[in-house]
Amino acid sequence: MILWLNPTTGLSGDMLLGALLGLGAPVEAVSESIASTGLTGWSLSAERVQVDGIAATRAVVAVDDDAPERHASELIGLASRAKPEPVATMAVSALDSIARVEGALHDRDPAEVHLHEVGGLDTIVDTVGVAAALHELGVTAVHSAPIALGSGIVRCAHGVLPAPSPATTRLLEGAAVVGSDLDGETVTPTGAALVSAMGVRFTPPPAMTLGATAFGAGTKRFPQRPNVLPASLATARSQVETMVVVECSVDDVTGETLGHVLDRLLEAGAADAWTSPVTMKKSRPAHVLHVLCAPAREEALTAIVLAETGTLGVRRHEVQRTALPRRTSAVSVAGHSIRIKHGPHRSKPEHDDVAAAAKALGLPLRTVAEMASEAARQQVGPS
């Protein structure tokens, strides 16, 4: 499942949580994940509101202890206990990035950082809540339009600072942003930290079939536009793309050389490379070397084929490939990182990683592959 964001008035943790609840993430399940941290004295509900004529969802967070200042380590410790594990991983990532940025800004060890505006318990509700909502909705990829930044000043515990604040700017490193005529803070540090923790990709909308759309309500009001975060769920669609197949027939190249050529071609950007056994003239056993590539890679890959095999020529023809969306993540199996390739219909551990882990652990290859697959299912959550 794809989540598409369009933050035309910026974003915050509560706006993102409101949008996800509006998309159907069950408040009860999200609350269970928050409760699993051990946090007490809080409540979460979803309220339907009107923002300048737009029906939106506001995440209503109430805490008994509304002190805005705490050590980052306290919040990270709470988030680390969240269940299931992928929720804790994302929430800790967001809070840890805040601690590291604040530590760098104030020349302090992140473990010693004392958080001010984002030190409240509501930050735990926002970060764990967003991670749990994504898990419940089965979101596997988040794409976004550029984030709108405000201007002017923002008042905080350290005095008057420019908007966006220095912490927010640091947390948004690598994100696509755009200026706006909005006055004041449009992106909170928590919102910026969640952008990084979610692995948001700033791209045009990918090929997808749109599903539900919801609007997360912000608390601030702008005279120029509704302060809402539009969010849409979508399923990925396959793409038909033009590819090129380069081929040559060889009867005087050893198997070792062919294996070497296949490795080189894949490393150089071939989408795929393989050989087929054939019988050539005079009944000589031979192989056809096939290379599938994007048109832009054809010249470079053809040069490799010619140089490595010594063939005097190659054939080429265009093909149409239907490509399903795919992505890669990583899981840990007994301390060993294993890459997982995800498609719409299945997820598969990377064989080389599984083999290396199996050898190091002294376990059968099949056992490690099953462990990696189960870890991947826990990571993705329900679909």
Closest CA to 357 of 342, 343, 340, 341: 340
Mean pLDDT of 124-152: 90
**What confidence score (pLDDT) does residue 206 get?**
81
Q: Which residue bears the tokens 């980052």?
A: 72
Mean pLDDT of 344-368: 92
Band (pLDDT 50/70/90 cuts) for residue 382 is very low
Band (pLDDT 50/70/90 cuts) for residue 205 is confident
**Model-wide pTM > 0.95:** no
Tens digit of each residue's pLDDT (9 = 90 or more) over 149-201: 988 777 665 567 777 888 888 888 888 999 888 888 889 989 999 998 888 88
AA identity, residue 36: S
CB proximity list for 212: less than 8 A, separation 6 or greater = 23, 24, 232, 233
Q: Helices 13-22 and 121-137 sit at what angle, rounded to 10 degrees?
A: 30
Mean pLDDT of 101-116: 67
Backbone torsion region of residue 44, taken as left when φ is above 0, otherwise alpha when ψ lies between -120 and 50, otherwise beta: beta
In angstroms, the CA 137 to CA 128 distance is: 14
**In this model, does residue 112 exceed pLDDT 80?**
no
**Which domains, from first to last, does the chain contain?**
2-236 (no CATH), 239-323 (3.30.70.1380), 327-380 (no CATH)
- Whether the CA torsion 93, 96, 101, 102 is positive or negative: it is positive
Closest CA to 46 of 215, 190, 225: 215
**In this model, does residue 82 exceed pLDDT 50?**
yes
Share of the chain above pLDDT 90, in %: 51
**In this model, does residue 117 exceed pLDDT 80?**
no
8-state DSSP, 6: -
**What confidence score (pLDDT) does residue 307 get?**
95
